[in-house]
């Protein structure tokens, strides 16, 4: 998810609006109709020629914001602290950072131990982060923590597990050598201005020294060609059913029926299938709908709408499932290729996924039945 806009509140506090989420390739159809499906299919097919548009989606935690405000003061906090209401979470020293994090426990003994460890970890690296950011830099870096201490070596690889994914990095590689010299690791996704405008990271020349390893988006380097079997069948299906899909997702029609949130409901249903391995996608949508939090009048409308457009909805779910299959096949090819960075989830090859950078916007390539399922299973 990208941090995209801030609004000034009381001239003192900036409130984060989380939007412009990087979408799964198969989800583009919900908001863009047949054009979204076509965009996903074309971009997946384009990967057969080159993987240069792909970057690794590092599975870091927690999400952090750090940099210098207009007064030159260094700020280091997590995403929750940066947008906090009721207290100042934009810590300018280690003690304030610890206090801000502990305030969230609110005396809850069941949470206290976890918060203490988390606050201690963040406090321990405050000075390192501060020393690493040039005093002439103004603005913020948005990213995810990879490690709080130099990772231990297993054989000839550095091993660390910030969240769900375990990474092994060849100690002799350029990245491995940098890890060996560092004490803290963070992957940086965006640069952000005081007003919340974001821009892609190209260079991290504001980071000085070797103690903080700051990694920009890492391009995938796969020598073997990527196969995208199934694309031709998807193109045929889209040709035959594109008009029917656009009809059921037509914004004017949905507005008249007061169902403008139908794409979001379809998206929520798709996410609900993660824990079951994405099986029978679309076949139990009405059953799920009846037990969902959607209002009763809207349930009735949607049920009737689906019955009136059975072919359109059937084609929709066939395309969603088909795009997902092609995407998962590409992910598997990327995950099993040999490189300096090896990622596993529960001992099986694979990381969080990849980001496909396109002129029309980034697309997320994540295996929902793999990483997403494992990530949801964590009790945080």
Q: What count of Cα atoms within 13 Å lies in the side-chain half-sphere of residue 369?
A: 15
> Facing residues of 348 across strands?
345
Q: Output the pLDDT for position 379.
A: 57
The parts of the chain modelled with pLDDT lower than 50 are 1-20
Q: Provide the whole-model pTM.
A: 0.77
| Cα–Cα dist 310/180, whole Å | 58
Please say whether the beta carbons of 249 and 33 come within 8 A: yes
Q: Output the pLDDT for position 197.
A: 85
Q: Output the pLDDT for position 11.
A: 34
Q: Output the pLDDT for position 335.
A: 84
Contact residues for 25 (Cβ-Cβ < 8 A; gap 6+): 40, 43, 44, 323, 324, 327, 356, 363, 364, 365
Q: Output the pLDDT for position 373.
A: 67
CA distances from 99 to 36, 83, 91, 108 (A): 45, 16, 9, 15
Q: Output the pLDDT for position 247.
A: 97
Q: Output the pLDDT for position 15.
A: 37
| Cα–Cα dist 327/306, whole Å | 27
| Cα–Cα dist 308/325, whole Å | 28
Q: Output the pLDDT for position 21.
A: 60
What are the tokens at 143? Answer: 């990213």
How crowded is residue 169: how many other Cβ atoms within 10 Å of its Cβ?
Answer: 24
| Cα–Cα dist 124/79, whole Å | 18
Please say whether the beta carbons of 345 and 370 come within 8 A: yes
Name the pairing type of β-strands 63-68 and 74-78: antiparallel
Query: For residue 158, how far is the Cα from the chain centroid?
Result: 24
| Cα–Cα dist 158/29, whole Å | 40
The overall longest dimension of the chain from CA atoms, in Å, is: 64
CA distances from 138 to 67, 107, 135, 207, 305 (A): 7, 36, 8, 12, 52
| Cα–Cα dist 201/242, whole Å | 37
Contact residues for 334 (Cβ-Cβ < 8 A; gap 6+): 51, 54, 220, 222, 226, 354
Question: What is the distance in angstroms between the CA of the first residue and the CA of the last residue of the chain?
Answer: 19
What DSSP element (H or E) covers 313?
helix 310-335
């Amino acid at each position: 998810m990208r941090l995209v806009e801030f609004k000034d509140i009381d001239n003192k506090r900036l409130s984060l609006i989380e939007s412009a989420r990087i979408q799964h390739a198969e989800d583009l159809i919900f908001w863009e109709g047949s054009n979204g499906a076509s965009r996903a299919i074309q971009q997946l097919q384009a990967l057969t020629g080159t993987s240069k548009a792909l970057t690794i989606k590092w599975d870091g935690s927690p999400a952090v914001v750090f940099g210098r405000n207009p007064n030159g003061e260094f700020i280091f906090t997590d995403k929750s602290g940066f947008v906090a209401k009721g207290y100042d979470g934009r810590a300018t020293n280690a003690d304030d950072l610890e206090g801000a994090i502990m305030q969230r426990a609110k005396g809850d003994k069941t949470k206290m131990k976890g918060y203490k460890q988390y606050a201690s970890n963040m406090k321990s690296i405050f000075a390192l982060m501060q020393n690493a950011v040039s005093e002439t830099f103004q603005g913020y870096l948005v990213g995810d923590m990879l490690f709080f201490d130099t990772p231990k070596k297993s054989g000839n690889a550095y091993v660390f597990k910030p969240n769900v994914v375990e990474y092994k990095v060849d100690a002799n590689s350029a990245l491995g050598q940098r890890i060996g010299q560092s004490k803290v690791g963070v992957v940086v996704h965006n640069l952000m201005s005081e007003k919340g405008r974001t821009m892609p990271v190209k260079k991290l020349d504001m980071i000085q020294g070797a103690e903080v390893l700051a990694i920009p988006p890492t391009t995938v380097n796969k020598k073997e060609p990527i196969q995208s079997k199934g694309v031709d069948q998807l193109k045929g299906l889209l040709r035959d059913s594109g008009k029917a899909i656009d009809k059921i997702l037509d914004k004017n029609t949905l507005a008249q029926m007061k169902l403008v949130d139908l794409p979001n409901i379809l998206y929520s249903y798709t996410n609900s299938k993660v824990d079951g391995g994405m099986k029978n996608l679309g076949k139990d949508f009405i059953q799920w709908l009846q037990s969902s939090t959607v209002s009763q009048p809207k349930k009735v409308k949607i049920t009737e709408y689906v019955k009136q457009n059975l072919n359109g909805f059937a084609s929709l779910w066939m395309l969603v499932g088909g795009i997902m299959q092609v995407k998962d096949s590409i992910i598997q090819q990327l995950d099993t290729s040999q490189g300096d960075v090896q990622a596993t989830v529960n001992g099986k090859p694979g990381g969080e996924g990849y980001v496909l950078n396109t002129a029309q916007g980034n697309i997320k390539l994540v295996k929902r039945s793999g990483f997403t399922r494992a990530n949801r299973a964590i009790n945080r």
